[in-house]
Amino acid sequence: MRFLSFLVLFLCSVMLSSKAVYAMKIERVVSPLGIEAWLVRESNVPLIAMRFAFKGGSAQDEPGKQGTAYLLSGMLDEGAGDLKSSAFQEKIEELTVRISFNASRDHFSGNFQTLTERKKEGFALLKLALTSPRFDTDAVDRIKSQIVSSLKFEANNPQNVANKAWFKSAYKQHPYARPKKGTEESLLTINRDNLVKAHGKIFAREHLKVAVVGDITAQELGQLLDEVFGQLPEKSGIADIKEANSVEGPLIETIEMGVPQSVVQFGHQGLKRSDDDFIPAYILNYILGGGGFASRLMEEVREKRGLAYSVYSYLYPLEDGAVILGGVATKNSSVNEAIELIKQEFNRLANEGPSEEEFQKAKDYLTGSYALRFDTSSKIASQLLWIQVEGLGLEYVDKRNEMIKSVTLDQIKKVAKRVLNGDKLRFMIVGQPSSG
């Protein structure tokens, strides 16, 4: 019977009518206590999907306590209230709900799904996790052990090593330089008191954003918002994070690792999501390295020269230090050539801009594929959550494609000159690069 319930939950999470996708109505719901959520009601599917986020992630970890927020994200379903870890997990299975949490650098987010018929009990369980986590010593030790095991695995993964080293090198003493999962040494210093303190600092209504999709009315949602989040304090205790210094090179650093292929992460200063040039820069990045086989980096590095299976770039608009990042993996003997090609493409696009054909194809793809982000209830909830987090406004879903279509080629060329500079890229190489 439980298997059947989980199957129903899974099927409901991947089904949504085309009518809901293309004629989506977003309601702004405000609870009696003033907690706001965005709701898309879908009564044809017996599922409720909720996504929520608090401001404050791993950047709020105290010095020497790196990994606190990440550990906290793994502890919230490990027992709450009177339910110890095993009992809590059994309750999740019994109610056929999904509860998970994640800590990024800037935010702490949660994911919740329940069948409509179980919503009262499901939301009550979520409330317990949010407001009354136990942080039992045996559970803390077990989750810490799991994180340490993953850190040991990642220490032998060149991609993970390159990513961590790039952030440490680029951001130096800034909180963004800290590894999100922490280190074996820092995890040993984190105890229950640290988790309680982090929980009290981050979990507050002040910066809470909520998105809900499914079979629930606005009135029901308003009541549930107060039941689930109403006991949290109004104000958070998060600290203000200083703006990071400009993340620029030129710099090429190498970490020796005995692997047949070197992994390279590269990047430099980017644009915040609130920047007026972000949408043009988003189109520009698709042309540069975000468009798969349609991108210039893929064309030059893979298609023309066969130096790599994949090469890519993306915008990473952190709140206090946005960057444009990318990566490539290539034979040790081809690393220098690949790096030079990447620098050249950054500079060529900055100096010349894209062609009219590249520009139109990018806009066509980005507008045409947008609906795919809204073809399941879970995807819709995720999109609506991050639109809120980024402060883009309730009307953004309807305006987004027109914003892309309105960008001109001249705008793209100006933004390319502003954003791209191959001579200021920072490269972190993990492997055994050679010139031969």
Q: Is 310 helix (H, G, I), strand (E, B) or coil?
A: strand
pLDDT in the model for residue 24: 87
Q: Can you tell me the distance from the alpha carbon of 420 to that of 405, in angstroms, rounded to the nearest whole number?
A: 22
Q: Is 220 helix (H, G, I), strand (E, B) or coil?
A: helix
Amino acid at 53: A
Residue 250 near residue 343, CB atoms below 8 Å:
no
Token readout for 338 is 């690949």
Prediction pTM value: 0.92
284's enclosing H/E stretch is helix 278-285
Residue 30 near residue 222, CB atoms below 8 Å:
yes
CA angle at 211 for the pair 206 and 212, rounded to the nearest 5°: 135
CATH numbers and ranges of domains, the chain: 25-229 (3.30.830.10), 251-431 (3.30.830.10)
| Stretches in the chain below the pLDDT threshold 50 | 1-8, 14-22
426's enclosing H/E stretch is strand 426-431
107's enclosing H/E stretch is strand 107-115
Give the tens place of pLDDT for each residue, 72-104. 999 999 999 999 999 999 999 999 999 999 999
Name the strands in the sheet holding 47-55, side by side, starting at the edge strand that comes first in the sequence: 27-30, 36-41, 209-214, 47-55, 107-115, 98-103
Burial (CB count within 10 angstroms: exposed 0-12, middle 13-18, buried 19+), residue 136: middle
In the chain, the largest separation of any two C-alpha atoms, in whole Å, equals 69
324's enclosing H/E stretch is strand 323-331
CA–CA distances in Å: residue 209 to residues 12, 30, 39, 198, 212: 24, 12, 12, 19, 10
